[in-house]
């Protein structure tokens, strides 16, 4: 009955209680660690821009018996028997996703965002082909051509970045780069860029040189789904995303298309057969780069897409954006320098050099006060990726804990207090206690949608 004595720390329903109770009985070592992590998540302020807190219905689908099922292939075209139920689930996930983004085609099987990108590359590129992506050191992602990733190892990776004076991408400059370079694939999207993207300008340049345009919306996908940012579906050939960041679903990836699923790019002759782009992409996910799909995760994705279609989610994601803009304003008031001077989305990148701090120190100091963040390179950084001059904040997770604008002001005060107390253990511990009491009453699970 240990669990029930401690149940105050969980805000889960009876199904989840049973689930945890069983783990406890059968593997107390792992159960103890899950409890420890539960405490860490519950009592901390989570500012990592790529994280979120799912609802318990999203969690339950992920922890369901669907994990037992093999289902290589697609709904109606499987390599295993007994797929009639998972076919319904996967079809529903695809239909909900298409509705959410106004897509005409979708694949919900990628195990992660990086896997979704790898499938796209393997579908349309040959080793040595030229690609153009956003520079990792300016806020890009490893899977967009970094030499340590397959995208940089197998392809001729080229990069664009932000302007030094503005901290923003000059899309006309990128368009000229596309015209000069004539890459086969152009990738838009970032992990640490707080401004919107001009997909139309990129597409126009891509069309002139016959390049394919991919938008990786892993970070801002939730804001895009609800119309709070420019829509890439109409202008890009392919859109990839994670499902676990602002979209607030299980860890995973997705691939979508809007207008281009019958584009000539897809008319690849394979064994004498002409294929649509969508068919080439389906084949690039399985069997191209993955094995069997994770149907428990796909069910959980379907639940999350269903939530994201609701008005409750619209309220949530608007609050995420508002919280980020309040946070940026408050940080600026305290003398912090935000790259590009503010944010259009859920995230921001802060250059700590004006405060004589490194990203590494800031991450550690905030961590001591139970405020979780990640150090991050800033554009034109003079420090190594292990030290960095910056720190990245995002508001998707903290907003799921029920924090509003006034809470954001409080959080910025705590962040600033902690950063200014960098070597004062007592003070940091005291701030940590304040953080704990602030978060203790806030449910760890995103409010389930009662539709």
Ligand X SMILES: *Cc1c(COP(=O)(O)O)cnc(C)c1O
Nearest-angstrom CA–CA distance, 305 and 249: 8
Q: Kindly identify the residues of this chain, within the stretch 4-63, that bind ligand X according to CB under 6 A.
A: 50
Secondary structure of residue 403 in the 3-state scheme: coil
Nearer Cβ to ligand X (246/340): 246
Q: Which of 141, 184, 195, 392 lies at the binding interface for ligand X (CB under 6 A)?
A: 141
Compute the distance between CA of residue 22 and CA of residue 33 in angstroms, rounded to an integer. 14
Within 13 Å and on the Cβ side, how many CA atoms surround 304? 33
Write down the least CB distance from residue 215 to ligand X, Å: 10
Measured between alpha carbons, how far is 197 from 146 in angstroms, rounded to an integer? 21
Catalytically annotated residue among 242, 243, 373, 395? 242
- 388 contacts ligand X (rule: CB under 6 A): no
Active-site annotation holds for 70:
yes
Nearer CB in complex with ligand X: 167/189 = 189
Nearest in space to 413 (alpha carbons), one of 433, 435, 390: 435
Q: Which segment (211-219, 256-264, 289-297, 373-381) binds ligand X by CB under 6 A?
A: 211-219
The answer to whether 114 contacts ligand X (rule: CB under 6 A) is: yes
The residue range among 23-31, 52-60, 214-222, 335-343 that interacts with ligand X, by the rule CB under 6 A, is: 214-222
* Footprint on residues 421-450 left by ligand X (CB under 6 A): none
325: CB partners within 8 A, 6+ apart: 342, 343
**Closer residue to ligand X in complex, CB, 198/216:** 216
112 binds ligand X (CB under 6 A): yes
User: CB of 112: closest distance to ligand X in angstroms?
Assistant: 3
219 binding ligand X? (CB under 6 A): yes
Among the listed ranges 77-85, 184-192, 268-276, 350-358, the one in contact with ligand X (CB under 6 A) is 184-192
Tell me whether residue 317 or residue 369 sits nearer to ligand X (CB atom): 317
Sequence-ordered strand ranges (E) for 352-397? 371-372, 374-376, 390-394
Select from 109, 143, 300, 319 the one that contacts ligand X (CB under 6 A).
143
Q: Which residues of 322-346 are buried (b: 16+ CB within 10 A; e: fewer)?
A: ebbbbbbbbbbeeebbbbbebbbbb
Give kind and range of the element (H or E) at residue 73. strand 73-74
Reply yes or no on whether 72 is catalytic: yes
Burial of 139 (C-beta count, 10 Å sphere; 0-12/13-18/19+):
buried
Q: Residue 194, interface with ligand X (CB under 6 A)?
A: no
Choose among 249, 255, 262: nearest CA to 217.
255
Asked about 316 being catalytic, the answer comes back as: no
In eight-state DSSP terms, residue 55 is B
Which residue from 113, 145, 249, 379 is in contact with ligand X, where contact means CB under 6 A?
A: 113
Asked about 7 being catalytic, the answer comes back as no
Active-site choice (46, 90, 216, 307): 216
* Residue 129 dihedral angles phi and psi, to the nearest 5°: -65, 150
Distance in Å, CB of 235 to ligand X, minimum:
17
Catalytic, 245? Answer yes
Q: Classify strands 45-46 and 371-372 as parallel, antiparallel or unpaired.
A: parallel
Of 242 and 389, the one with the shorter C-beta distance to ligand X is 242
Residue range at the interface with ligand X (CB under 6 A); choices 216-224, 284-292, 360-368, 416-424: 216-224
Q: CA angle, 206 as apex, 204 and 212 as ends, to 5°?
A: 130
Task: List C-alpha distances in Å: 321 to 52, 111, 375, 404, 446.
Answer: 14, 27, 21, 11, 17
Among 51, 72, 312, 416, the active-site one is 72
Distance of closest approach, residue 100 Cβ to ligand X, in angstroms: 18
Dihedral of alpha carbons 12, 16, 22, 24, sign: negative
Q: Which of residues 229-258 bind ligand X (CB under 6 A)?
A: 242, 253
Active site positions, annotated: 70, 72, 216, 242, 245, 251
Q: Which residues of this chain interact with ligand X, rule CB under 6 A?
A: 50, 112-114, 141, 143, 189-191, 216, 218-219, 242, 253
């Amino acid at each position: 009955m240990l669990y029930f004595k401690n149940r105050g720390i969980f805000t889960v329903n009876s199904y989840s209680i049973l689930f945890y109770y069983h783990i406890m009985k059968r593997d107390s070592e792992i159960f103890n660690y899950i409890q420890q992590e539960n405490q860490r998540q519950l009592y901390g302020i989570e500012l990592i821009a790529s994280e979120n807190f799912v609802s318990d219905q999203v969690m339950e689908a992920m922890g369901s018996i669907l994990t037992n099922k093999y289902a290589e292939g697609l709904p109606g075209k499987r390599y295993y028997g007994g797929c009639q139920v998972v076919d319904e689930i996967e079809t529903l996930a695809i239909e909900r996703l298409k509705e959410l983004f106004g897509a005409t085609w979708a694949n919900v099987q990628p195990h992660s965002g990086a896997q979704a990108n790898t499938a796209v590359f393997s579908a349309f590129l040959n080793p040595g082909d030229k690609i153009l992506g956003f520079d990792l050191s300016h806020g890009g992602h490893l899977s967009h051509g970094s030499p340590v990733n397959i995208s940089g190892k197998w392809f001729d990776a080229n990069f664009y970045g932000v302007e030094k004076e503005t901290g923003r991408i000059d899309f006309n400059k990128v368009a000229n780069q596309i015209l000069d370079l004539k890459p086969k694939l152009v990738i838009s999207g970032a992990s640490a860029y707080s401004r919107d993207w001009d997909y139309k300008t990129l597409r126009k340049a891509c069309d002139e040189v016959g390049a394919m345009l991919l938008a990786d919306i892993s970070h801002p996908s939730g804001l895009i789904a609800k119309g709070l940012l420019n829509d890439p579906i109409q202008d890009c050939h392919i859109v990839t995303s994670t499902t676990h960041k602002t979209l607030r679903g299980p860890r995973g990836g997705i691939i979508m298309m809007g207008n281009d699923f019958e584009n000539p790019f897809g008319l690849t002759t394979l064994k004498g057969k002409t294929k649509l782009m969508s068919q080439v992409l389906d084949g690039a996910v399985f069997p191209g780069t993955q094995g069997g799909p994770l149907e428990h995760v796909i069910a959980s994705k379907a639940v999350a897409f269903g939530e994201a279609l609701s008005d409750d989610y619209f309220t949530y994601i608007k609050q995420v954006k508002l919280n980020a803009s309040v946070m940026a304003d408050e940080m600026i008031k305290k003398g912090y320098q935000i790259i590009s001077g503010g944010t259009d989305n859920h995230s921001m990148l802060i250059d700590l050099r004006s405060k004589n701090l490194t990203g590494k120190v800031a991450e550690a100091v905030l961590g001591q006060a139970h405020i979780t963040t990640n150090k991050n390179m800033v554009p034109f950084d003079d420090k190594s990726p292990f030290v960095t001059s910056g720190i990245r904040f995002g508001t998707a997770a903290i907003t799921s804990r029920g924090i509003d604008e006034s809470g954001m002001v409080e959080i910025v005060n705590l962040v600033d207090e902690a950063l200014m107390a960098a070597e004062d253990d007592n003070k940091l511990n005291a701030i940590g206690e304040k953080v704990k009491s602030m978060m203790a009453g806030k449910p760890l699970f995103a409010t389930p949608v009662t539709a």
